[in-house]
Structure 1
């Protein structure tokens, strides 16, 4: 935007400078020409005075010597004619009084009128300036003195003046651009820069960012108000989201605690109750993670005090129960490659796998394949289904809180499952990747760092 504004203003300043330069250039050329004409007119007047007596007496020897000496001194040819245009004295031979320029000047001079000033000299022109003055005695014209003035020096002076003018205009344009155009551009674009900075702050999560609309143009004020309204809506939505998650986790703690007390009593009588007690504990951990979701998504610092967890072994153990669940629903669960790899013990493998396998059974299509592999410094747990998959836009939103694909919004769910998976992976420095595999379907990869001190 700034570049476009400068590209519009700088040519405008240049055009104004050119418009101002035309009369200034004409003044320089005209003034230089006039000074040269007046200087040589004075010399022509002097010759006219000196020629008055010789034209009456016919003794022109002295007049011829003055003409030659003047020619040698100023490099300017001089000649004197009588009223019949006969050359009576000249500084050099070969004078053609029928030359159009000389004829025009002599016609005016011998008629008793002063010739008009010549046109302005320009560097690209050539030729001489003809200056003439009448020789007069008692009001009677006796002849005329004529100077054929070279114009090289005058045109050179005009050229120097034009160069100085050009340099001054360039400096003036530069000064205007630096001193006026750039500050004006910054002033005009300051509201947009503020809006741009505020947008970056919002993208970084600072949803309480607002822009000032005081003293702004109506269009920019409306734009600022629209931005503030958008930021406020996002802030309120995020606040409602956090409050919902916090309230939900808080409300779940009491019934879970009560259920655990009852099931703990039954666990002494039934081995099956002990499994239920284990699931109650897992639900308690899920509630704790929901509380963390109400805060920041940034990964925490993992101390790593516990022994590394073999991800492949943990996955295989959890799949034992899930194979029975899938078999009961006539779904095929394939256990793929299982490469041992040590990860942080804090990684909640059961919770992550439960979410991924539950989503695959509800939203995907069999067979569902689970594998654990290594990719450089990462251990990758993959769950693939053969359903419809997701579009490129939806793939970028996988893991956002409360987000659900347009194809699955009519199905039961909260849109928090993959957000929990992403949060769990982030706690140990990992990440979640969703991609379309060859052959269709969807692959969800949970990539976590491979611990360097792990031994197979």
Structure 2
């Protein structure tokens, strides 16, 4: 917005400067022209006085000599004509009194009219200045003395003056822009900049940020009040959310602890009970994360400070319960190679494995094979089934929200399972890859970064 405001104000300053500069430029040109005309008019008056006697007596030798000397000294041709416009004396030959400029000047001078001021000397024009004075005796016009004044040096002087004016104009525009326009622009936009900075603070989570509305235009005060009301509403909503999460997590701790105690007694007798016990533990971890989200736990308990998780060990522990589930449905679950590898502790291995194994049992065909391998800087959790698989076009859409293959749309499901897996992997910098294996079926790989310093 600052650029657009400057783009509006700077042309206005330029236009005003041009309006101020045009009269100054005209003054420079007309002043130089007037000065040259007046100085040469004095010389023409002197020649008119010197020509009075020769025009009466006819002795023009001395007058011709004066004209030649003046021409040599000032590089200005001079000639004298009588009342019939015959050239009596000249500093150079070839004078044509019928030239438009000469004829106009002689018509005015011989008629006894006052001389008119010559036009301004602009650098892009050319030509000589004609200065004529009447030769008069007792009120009777005897002839005229005419000077053809070169204007090159005068036009060069005007050009230099215009260049100086242009330079001063540019400096003035720059000074006005820097000294006035930019400060005014900053002053006008300061409330909006404050609002923009406050908005960025709110987006970073500083919901207690407010903007000042004192001493500002009514429109900006209303905008600031609206922003403060919005920020206050967000702050209150976040507080209510934290209070709800803190209360809910606190209330869930006791029944989860009681349920775990009861199931622990059964876990020694039944693998399914151990599977349920792992679910109770997972619920406990969810409650812990909710507590941390609500800010009720100490900062030192943040998940980012926990030890790396051995993905292979976590998968093997979760597969204990799933083997019982697959066996109950007469499905074959093969545990393949399990290579230890450290991954981020916040990776929800149980959630990911539950989705992949549930999809493989519903949409694929046995046997289903699970393995954990290392591939360079990644640890790969792989689940393969031997079903119909997916086409190349469908493989590109795996993990999109609410997407389901055309072969599986009649089966129950929401199309969110693999989207959740992809989101969980991305949360720790990982990714999900779907590919057709040799021999048919489908392989879903969850690839997450390997923690190098993990001690196997």
In structure 2, the CA distance between the partners of 1:362 and 1:24, relative to structure 1 (3 Å rule), is: farther
Higher mean C-alpha displacement, 47-56 vs 446-455: 446-455
SS at match of 2:304: coil
**Structure 1 residue 35: Cα displacement:** 0.6
In structure 2, the CA distance between the partners of 1:60 and 1:23, relative to structure 1 (3 Å rule), is: same
Q: Contact (CA 8 Å) 1:289, 1:420: kept in 2 or not? A: no
CA-based RMSD of the aligned residues comes to 5.8
**Structure 1 residue 60: Cα displacement:** 2.2
**Structure 1 residue 39: Cα displacement:** 0.6
Q: Contact (CA 8 Å) 1:298, 1:427: kept in 2 or not? A: no
1:339-359 C-alpha deviation (Å, 9 max, x unpaired):
432347787755765587689
**Structure 1 residue 312: Cα displacement:** 1.5
**Structure 1 residue 164: Cα displacement:** 0.9
Higher mean C-alpha displacement, 207-216 vs 325-334: 325-334
**Structure 1 residue 404: Cα displacement:** 17
In structure 2, the CA distance between the partners of 1:202 and 1:174, relative to structure 1 (3 Å rule), is: same
Runs of 5+ consecutive residues of structure 1 not aligned to the other structure: none
Output the CA distance in 2 between the equivalents of 1:223 and 1:158: 55
Name the structure 2 match of 1:406: 406
In structure 2, the CA distance between the partners of 1:405 and 1:272, relative to structure 1 (3 Å rule), is: closer
Higher mean C-alpha displacement, 347-356 vs 167-176: 347-356
Name the structure 2 match of 1:234: 234
**Structure 1 residue 294: Cα displacement:** 1.8
In structure 2, the CA distance between the partners of 1:90 and 1:250, relative to structure 1 (3 Å rule), is: same
In structure 2, the CA distance between the partners of 1:99 and 1:267, relative to structure 1 (3 Å rule), is: closer
Q: Contact (CA 8 Å) 1:128, 1:148: kept in 2 or not? A: yes
Output the CA distance in 2 between the equivalents of 1:366 and 1:197: 58
In structure 2, the CA distance between the partners of 1:267 and 1:408, relative to structure 1 (3 Å rule), is: same
Output the CA distance in 2 between the equivalents of 1:249 and 1:398: 34
Q: Contact (CA 8 Å) 1:300, 1:427: kept in 2 or not? A: no
**Structure 1 residue 452: Cα displacement:** 3.1
**Structure 1 residue 165: Cα displacement:** 1.0
Higher mean C-alpha displacement, 229-238 vs 274-283: 274-283
Higher mean C-alpha displacement, 72-81 vs 337-346: 337-346
SS at match of 1:88: strand
TM-score, normalised via structure 1 length? 0.76
2:432 is the alignment partner of 1:455: no
Output the CA distance in 2 between the equivalents of 1:120 and 1:346: 86
SS at match of 2:283: helix
Higher mean C-alpha displacement, 69-78 vs 410-419: 410-419
Runs of 5+ consecutive residues of structure 2 not aligned to the other structure: none
**Structure 1 residue 249: Cα displacement:** 0.9
**Structure 1 residue 121: Cα displacement:** 1.3
Higher mean C-alpha displacement, 67-76 vs 251-260: 251-260
**Structure 1 residue 74: Cα displacement:** 0.7
Higher mean C-alpha displacement, 349-358 vs 46-55: 349-358
SS at match of 2:396: helix
Higher mean C-alpha displacement, 332-341 vs 66-75: 332-341
Name the structure 2 match of 1:268: 268
Q: Contact (CA 8 Å) 1:297, 1:426: kept in 2 or not? A: no
In structure 2, the CA distance between the partners of 1:411 and 1:64, relative to structure 1 (3 Å rule), is: same
Higher mean C-alpha displacement, 90-99 vs 206-215: 206-215
Name the structure 2 match of 1:441: 441
**Structure 1 residue 98: Cα displacement:** 2.0
1:307-318 matched pairs, under 5 angstroms: 310-318=310-318
In structure 2, the CA distance between the partners of 1:258 and 1:396, relative to structure 1 (3 Å rule), is: farther
Output the CA distance in 2 between the equivalents of 1:450 and 1:342: 6
**Structure 1 residue 93: Cα displacement:** 2.2
In structure 2, the CA distance between the partners of 1:98 and 1:435, relative to structure 1 (3 Å rule), is: farther
Output the CA distance in 2 between the equivalents of 1:48 and 1:155: 27
In structure 2, the CA distance between the partners of 1:357 and 1:91, relative to structure 1 (3 Å rule), is: same
**Structure 1 residue 196: Cα displacement:** 2.5
Q: Report the count of equivalent residues.
A: 456
Higher mean C-alpha displacement, 222-231 vs 314-323: 222-231
In structure 2, the CA distance between the partners of 1:120 and 1:442, relative to structure 1 (3 Å rule), is: farther
Higher mean C-alpha displacement, 194-203 vs 127-136: 194-203
In structure 2, the CA distance between the partners of 1:412 and 1:174, relative to structure 1 (3 Å rule), is: farther
1:167-216 C-alpha deviation (Å, 9 max, x unpaired):
11111111112112222222232233223222322222222223333344
**Structure 1 residue 301: Cα displacement:** 8.2
Q: Contact (CA 8 Å) 2:272, 2:324: kept in 1 or not? A: no
Q: Contact (CA 8 Å) 2:303, 2:345: kept in 1 or not? A: no
TM-score, normalised via structure 2 length? 0.76
Q: Contact (CA 8 Å) 1:299, 1:426: kept in 2 or not? A: no
